[in-house]
Structure 1
Amino acid sequence: MGDQSVFRITKELSDLQRNSDLSLAVACRDIDVRNVKALIIGPHETPYEFGFFEFSFKFNKEYPRKSPTVTATTTNGGRCRFNPNIYANGRVCLSILGTWRGERGEEWSAAQGLESILLSIQSLMSTNPYENEPGFEDANEVADKKHQKDYIRHETLRISVIQRLEEYLGISVDGTVAAPVSNREEYDLDMDVMEDEASVPFEPFKDLCKRRLLWYYDSYLATIQKGKEEVKDGTVFSRMPFEGASNTMEGRFNYSELERRLRNIKKALDAETEGWATEGLVAKGKESTVAVNLQRQYEQVVESFKRSDVPHNLELVDGNPFVWMVTYFGKPMTNLDGGLFRIKIHFSPRFPEDQPRVKFETRLFHHRISQDGTPCYFSAPSRREDVKSHIDAIIDSLEEEQPSYDPRTLVHPEAFKLYWGSADDRKMYNRRLRRSVQQSLEDC
């Protein structure tokens, strides 16, 4: 039975990691598939929007006959309860987990699995989460509902996004940033030398959250600006009628402080990205495995551009294999026709563990490019080490003529709203896109 459960868990992990769901991620150490970490990114138009919520799964040997144990770990050290069904102590109340009474047919069955549990938890992160709590009918329908949504939104930003990224980046309370790993004597740039896995904290979502922060930065800022207009700094979170000692979220609103911290995170991320170039030159000098691999891939992509009908160009910045500059020519007979755009790609000495960070140096008003030039694209997880697949995915995201509506790609709020708005909105979007394309030629 034990071997069968390991096979089942491994398959479910593989299936989830292969799909392109932008709101779920799972990972485990190779030596321990029974202990899985999962990340749920909060749904659009809810108080949890684009928050990073982590859960731990423990699978017993009787899985899938018995459900795994699931614990929420994004709780601010057990002090924050984000949902009536997700306790501050980590307990997740779901009928399929046997932790909540449900109707007949809602209990666990072997047909369910890791993905169905994650989707069930994600469904709890609704527009009006307090309606999951028995007794919510006693609450003031307007005032209480809005207040709880307000403080969940505030704490989603403070705890799941800002606090998490500060820890990842080594940012202290006063805004100072710890010396990057590359400046510490114990760090060895040659990634052929690997540390003992057990001695390294398992943080599988660090790079993903950093890249998503760059995607959603403008949305986070817009949420903060809206919060500052609606709630005065210093206002205390009020307790709902159905809340008790084990079901409360205490604190005060302070959106001004959140804005300061978020801007510091963005600066630190940009500095970290720029720092990769310096680290890369050191790695190049040492002829590290990553440096040699990137140089070889660069030469291969240059050759593929020469053989294709598309006149894109590629060069290394200052001869550094860790910084590429792609010159992209807009596709003929589209709104991009005639445009010329320079796209800078930074690689980490830990590539592909750290994925590339991409920025359009030439401004382009596009619903898949943030205001600072960060494109929202996704390449096949199985090809994360293939740079050509990243470049192809970036271009595909620009040229896609009939994309499906997907709020998880909301990286430029203004452009996104126009693109998916009325017919007049779309016309305005196309005019602004064409104007930025024409401007790209003037800036050359």
Structure 2
Amino acid sequence: MSPRRRATVLTAATVLCATAAPVASAATAASAAAGAPAAAVAPAVKPKLPDGLYGTADPSYDGVWRQSMALLALDGAGAVPAKKAVDWLTEQQCADGSFTAYRADPGKKCDPDTTPSDTNATALAAQALAAVGGRSEAVREAVDWLVSVQNKDGGWGMAPRSPSDANSVSVVIGALHAAGKDPRKVTAEGGRSPYDALLGLQLTCGAKGIEDAPGQQGAFAYQPDKKGRLVPNNDATAAATLAALGKGALAEPLDKDAKSKPVTPLKCATGAADGERQDGPRELPGGRKAAAGAGAAYLAATLKKGGGHFTTVTPGEEKPQPDYANTADAVVALAAGGHRTEARSSLRWLAAHLDDWDKADDDPAALSSLMLASRATGGDPTRLGGTDLLARLGRTGPAPARMPDSDASSEKKDDGATIPVWAFILVGLAVGAGFGILLSGRRKRQQL
């Protein structure tokens, strides 16, 4: 799933860099003016990250997100996450039940000005904690907070009370599902559910703006633009297609014996002629399941057109680049809808180009998305092609307390809570040696 708020993170990072650079330059200039040589101006010391956290990159914008993804992937692979990894995520929760993107000091009270509540982080953390078990109170408090900030249209934005967007609505639907709540019954004051908000962002034949996007019916927009028009968005469509099925990131894998369900492109909308603008709700006949089918058809067609993957244009790049993350999310959405053929086709592309994705080496969120994609198609959730994804993920943070299909502790990494196997071996040798010395001593005494 991919409501990871890439655009927001990039924007925030850009603003941060833009404001920090002049400050750093000014500090350097001031030090030089005071007589200090340029080499004497010490760079900022990178803070030590908690050893329970996955990943080594700055967690300011994605700490909770990537930790949640890692726990979901580990659970989906049949591994038991290290206790300190689960504890770290739980301790990130604020007193009101919400989560922020990252709290450097969980001991301090959450400050809405410096650490604002994050709907996406809260919803994914709830999914992860529900999956690993034993944290029901934290899950309940997170979901209660999400319900308390539901918008009138039935949806959610990235921040509390901000305009609803497809990605945020989708990840919250996943949290409700993980907590055992029926999203259809979680309604705002006007009686509108999360599905109402979600389906209102889908491009049906009569949707406002569809005339500018021929052949892209069934796609979801992130949000309406300033003119109220809907623009197809691959990220939003992958997330919304999965959520329309009522599922979260840890969707059940495909049955190996089940036949692939064909995708059916959207051909018409309700009540509005082709090309005619339609304001208000744009639900399809058949409700959310039909909406999920239309979204899947859009995903499949777009992936096929791209040679099995999505593309994106990143800042500073003129040529479109492969969009690995959203391709993985689309695989999960397609598999959840039973579209095995299309899902596996894109999964094979990901496997063939795994080494081309720099994040697939040591980025926990990226590795987790690939593991979840492999699992969703009914494949091995620990591997993709010839690559051991579980091993790579384990190198980015605490090793699992227990590996899949293993009751032995020989595969555990010392996480501070377990005694490594070599310690038992040394103790055994020492005891054996001591016993041998004792026997030798007795023999000598008997000979005297």
TM over 0.5: no
More helix by share: 2
More strand by share: 1
Give the TM-score normalised by structure 1.
0.29
Return the structure number with greater relative CO, CA threshold 8 A, min gap 6. 2
Give the TM-score normalised by structure 2.
0.29
Higher gyration radius (CA): 2
